[in-house]
Amino acid sequence: MMDYLFSTVLVIHILAAIGVIGLVLVQHGKGADMGAAFGSGASGSLFGATGSANFLSRTTAVLATVFFVTSLSLAYIASNKPKTTGSVMQDAVRSQAVPEPVAAGADKAGSPVNAGSKAKDIPQ
Contact 74, 10 (CB under 8 A): yes
* SS3 assignment for 19-57: HHHHHHHHCCCCCHHHHHHCCCCHHHCCCCCCHHHHHHH
pLDDT tens by residue, the chain, 124 residues: 778 999 999 999 999 999 999 999 998 776 665 555 565 555 445 555 555 668 888 999 999 999 999 999 999 998 887 766 666 666 556 666 777 888 776 555 555 556 555 556 566 5
The secondary structure of residue 81, as a DSSP letter, is: S
pLDDT score recorded for residue 80:
84
The C-alpha atoms of residue 17 and residue 38 are separated, in whole angstroms, by 34
The C-alpha atoms of residue 124 and residue 122 are separated, in whole angstroms, by 6
- The pTM of the full predicted model, rounded to 2 decimals, is 0.52
